[in-house]
Structure 1
C-alpha cells in the first residue's frame, strides 16, 4: 500500500498550522506474504470468524483503508467465552513475515477473560497489523496484556475497539518497546451503566522510533468510569504523539473520566506531542486531563550519583523505575524478564 494515508485523525481538529490533527504515512508490506499467529486456548474457545462485518460499523481504526486491507488480506479468529465462564488466551505473534490478524472476542455475562499478547520477530520493512474487537457482557471482567518486543525494523499497526455492558470491568496493559513505527488506535464505548475501563500504556523510544497513540473513551452509560495513563521515555531522535479524548455523551450522567500523559525527554533532539481532549454533551460529569514532558530530575540524578552510581547508571535506574511497575503486572516471569532486558538494552 504505497499511497499516503492519514492515521489517527483527531475527533475535533485543532488549528491546521499546528500539524497535530493526524499523522501522515504508509502501510509497509501490505501485499507481502503473511505469517499466522499462534493462539493457545482451551478447546472450542477459538473458531474461524465467519461474519467479517465490523462490530461497530463506523469504527475507522488507524485508517479506514488500512483497516479494510487488513480484513480482506488477513486471518480472522473468533474467541468466545460463555456466560459465567473463565478463560485464559495467549496469542503469540512471531513476525518472521508480515502479520495481518483479526481477533473478535465475545465475553458473556459475568465471565472472566485474561488475554496475553506477545509480539516478537525480526522481519524487516514490513508490518505487524492486528485488529481486536471486544464485546464485553454484563458484570464481566477482562484483562488484556500486550508486550511488544518486535524488531525496530518493523512497522506496527494496531486497531482496537471495545464495547462494555452494565458493570463490566476491563483493564488494558500495553508495553511498547519494539517497532520502528508504532501506530496505535484504541476506541472504547462505555455503553453500560457503572462499567469501568482502565488503560495503562508504557513505551520506550530510541534511535528513530515513532509512537503514534490514539485513545478515545466514549461515555454513554450512567456512572461509567475510565482512566488513561500513558508514560514513557524518549532518547536520540525518537518521537511520540498522544491524542487522547474523553467524550461524555447524552445519558452519561454521573460518569468520570481521567487521562494523563507523562513523557521523559532524555535528549534535546526528541519530540513529544500531547493532545488530551475533553468533549461533553451531558451535565454532572467529571473529566480530568493532564500532560507533562520534561528532562530528568537533576535532584534525583544528583542523589543517585552521590551514592556511587555513574550518570549512565543513574539514568538507567530512573527510567526503569518509571516503567517497571507496569511491566511487573504482566504476571509471567519469562516475559517480564524479556521486557526488562529490552528496556535495559535501550536506555
Structure 2
C-alpha cells in the first residue's frame, strides 16, 4: 500500500472547502544516483560534510523529503564566495540511469559585497524515480546572488526542490526557473528578507503536457525595513496537465516601508487542464504595500487569428504565442547551449 504525504501546505490554511491548502502525493523511489558535476573556479566549492540547516525551523516542501536530503544526500557541496569576490558556479545533475534516486544539497555563503551566479542544469534519460534538490543561500551585506535553474528531466521522474534564502542588509537575490521536464514537480521556496533594504526577484516559467504536474509554493517573509519582493510565475498547460501555485507575502511586525508583489499567469491550451492559484497576503505591519494577482485563460483569439491570417497554421500560431511568452525568461539563463536545449524542449512539447 502506497504511503501518502503532504506537500507544500499553506502557512495559514484557508479555502478548506476547495481542498487546495496542500498537495497530497508520495515520494517516488528509484535505484541509481545521478551524475552530479560542478564547474567553478578552484577553491570556491568543497565537499559539504555534515551540516545543520541554515534555518532550524525550515519546513521545505515535505518533512520526510527534507530530512532525507539534509542528512543522507548523495551529492553535497559547500560554495563559499569571499567578501568582494565575483564567482560563477554551474551544477549539472544528469539522471542518466533508467531509474534515478538522487539527493543533492548545496550550501552557498556569499560574502559582503560579493557576487555569485549559481546555475543548475537538470537533465537525463531516466524513466522513473526521484530527484531531490536542497539549496540554502546566505546572502551577506550588499551581496548579489543570481540562482538560475533549467529543468529538463525525463517525463517519468519526480522532482522535489527545497530552497531557503537568508537576506542580510542591502543584499539582492534574483531567481530564474525554467521548468519543462519531469512527471511531478514539487517546488518550495522560502525567503527570509531579514536585512534592511533586502530585495528579491523571482521569475518562474513552466510548460505542461500530458499528465504533468507542477506544484509551486513561495513564502516571502518581510522582516527588515524597506525590503522588496517581486515574484512572477507564468506558463501554459496542455493535455491533462495540472498546476498549483501557493504564494504567500508575509509582512512581519517591524517591516516598515516594505513592498511585496506576486503574480501568477497561466495559459490553458486544452479543456482538461487544471490550474489552481492561491496568492495569500499576511500582514502585521501598517506601513507596507502588498499586491497580488492571478489570471488563467485560453489563447487570445485575436492574436491567433492575426497569425493565421499571415499564413501560419493553427498549431504553428499556438507555438509562436506560447514560445513568445516563455522565451524572455529562457533568454536570461545566459548559457547558449542550455538555452537552446530549453527552446528545443518547448518546441517538442507544443
Alignment TM-score, normalising by the size of structure 2: 0.97
Specify the alignment match of 2:169 in structure 1: 166
Confirm or deny that 1:56 pairs with 2:44: no
Deviations 1:85-118 (A, max 9, x none): 1110000000123211100000000000001110
> Is the deviation greater in 204-213 or in 15-24?
15-24
Confirm or deny that 1:124 pairs with 2:127: yes
Confirm or deny that 1:79 pairs with 2:79: yes
> Is the deviation greater in 15-24 or in 80-89?
15-24
Of 244, 247, 251, the match for 2:247:
244
How much has 1:65 moved relative to structure 2?
Answer: 1.2
Deviations 1:40-86 (A, max 9, x none): 11111111223421100110111111110122321321110011011
How much has 1:2 moved relative to structure 2?
Answer: 4.8
Is the 8 Å Cα contact of residues 80 and 109 (structure 2) preserved in structure 1? yes
Specify the alignment match of 2:300 in structure 1: 297
Specify the alignment match of 1:44 in structure 2: 43
Deviations 1:216-240 (A, max 9, x none): 0000010000000000000000000
Confirm or deny that 1:335 pairs with 2:347: no
Q: 5+ residue gaps in structure 2?
A: none
Deviations 1:111-145 (A, max 9, x none): 00001110101112201100000000100111111
How much has 1:16 moved relative to structure 2?
Answer: 2.2
Helix, strand or coil at the partner of 1:245: strand
For 1:315 and 1:33, how far apart are their aligned partners in 2? 38
Q: 5+ residue gaps in structure 1?
A: none
For 2:15 and 2:239, how far apart are their aligned partners in 1? 29
Specify the alignment match of 1:29 in structure 2: 29
Specify the alignment match of 1:210 in structure 2: 213
Specify the alignment match of 1:93 in structure 2: 93
Of 118, 136, 139, the match for 2:139:
136
Across the two proteins, how many residue pairs are aligned to each other?
Answer: 346
Deviations 1:280-330 (A, max 9, x none): 011110000000000000111111111111111110010001000000001
Is the 8 Å Cα contact of residues 122 and 154 (structure 1) preserved in structure 2? no
Alignment TM-score, normalising by the size of structure 1: 0.98
Confirm or deny that 1:221 pairs with 2:220: no
For 1:286 and 1:109, how far apart are their aligned partners in 2? 28
For 2:14 and 2:271, how far apart are their aligned partners in 1? 26
For 2:29 and 2:87, how far apart are their aligned partners in 1? 34
